[in-house]
Amino acid sequence: MEEKSLREFTEMLAAKTSVPGGGGACAAVGAIAIALGNMVGQYTVGKKAYADVEEDIIKLMERAEETRVELLECINKDAEAFEPLSQAYSLPKDDPNRDEIMEECLQRAANVPVNIMRILGGALEILEELAEKGSKIVISDAATAAILCKAAMQAAAVNVKVNTKLMKDARVASATNDVIEGWLNKYIPMADKIYESIMSRYDRQ
């Protein structure tokens, strides 16, 4: 699915189909965000004014590219995980295996947006450093990237919760929710700090 054009992908999102859905959209937005971060690096490397941080920037760019690819791969993974769940919903309620099948499918469907959130957290850590060390010419793109990552992370959290809410295994549901709440508490303020720090540079005195 990541091979689709942006036009094709958004047409698929708009269609009356279960995949791609919210999880895939989160991954796509995150990939766009970290690609912007990589662009900040591209405009920083090779500039004399940033020679002292060039090695750091190159490493950040490598991590950013790995992150972009990971997030794109999550688009397909989300679709693959959701398809069995959509089929499980249609099982007769008196099927003796329905609860077990549903539970397995719910956990699989939740795991992908959990992983997307994990990756997005790493993306924000990269962006935080790029915002600090990157070229001031394109620093607004780091702010854009941070706020896109924030939105993608919050949206991914919703996609986790919609599955954990239906799980019968309260222990698994609670543990999963605890993990993502921890990430939200850590990374949403980080995204806001990056954004606000860069926005403040453009305030007119």
DSSP readout, 169-202? -HHHHHHHHHHHHHHHHHHHHHHHHHHHHHHGGG
Position with higher pLDDT, 18 vs 144: 144
Q: Which structure tokens are listed for 5?
A: 């054009």
| Over residues 127-146, mean pLDDT | 96
Position with higher pLDDT, 36 vs 82: 36
Which of 36-40, 82-86, 127-131 is predicted least confidently? 82-86
Domain assignment present for 14: no
pLDDT score, position 88: 78
Contact indicator for 70, 28 with CB cutoff of 8 Å: no
Domain range holding 104?
Answer: 19-200
Domain assignment present for 159: yes
Residue 76 has pLDDT above 80, yes or no: yes
pLDDT per residue as tens digits for the range 42-63: 999 999 999 999 999 999 999 9
Residue 20 has pLDDT above 90, yes or no: no
Domain assignment present for 160: yes
Domain count across the chain: 1
Domain assignment present for 118: yes
Position with higher pLDDT, 87 vs 70: 70
pLDDT band at residue 197, thresholds of 50, 70 and 90? Answer: very high
CATH number of the domain residue 162 falls in: 1.20.120.680
Domain assignment present for 142: yes
Domain assignment present for 50: yes
| Over residues 146-161, mean pLDDT | 97
- DSSP summary character for residue 166: T
Residue 2 has pLDDT above 70, yes or no: no
**Helices 54-88 and 22-42, packing angle to 10 deg:** 170
Q: Nearest-5° angle of CA 63, CA 65, CA 71?
A: 100
Domain assignment present for 4: no
| Over residues 15-43, mean pLDDT | 92
Domain assignment present for 166: yes
Question: How far is Cα 51 from Cα 55, in angstroms, rounded to an integer?
Answer: 8
| Over residues 14-34, mean pLDDT | 89
Question: How far is Cα 142 from Cα 134, in angstroms, rounded to an integer?
Answer: 9
pLDDT band at residue 21, thresholds of 50, 70 and 90? Answer: confident
Contact indicator for 108, 172 with CB cutoff of 8 Å: no
CB within 8 Å of 45: residues ≥ 6 apart: 54, 57, 58, 61
Tokens 């690609």 found at = 35
The pTM of this model reads 0.91
Whole-number average pLDDT of the chain: 92
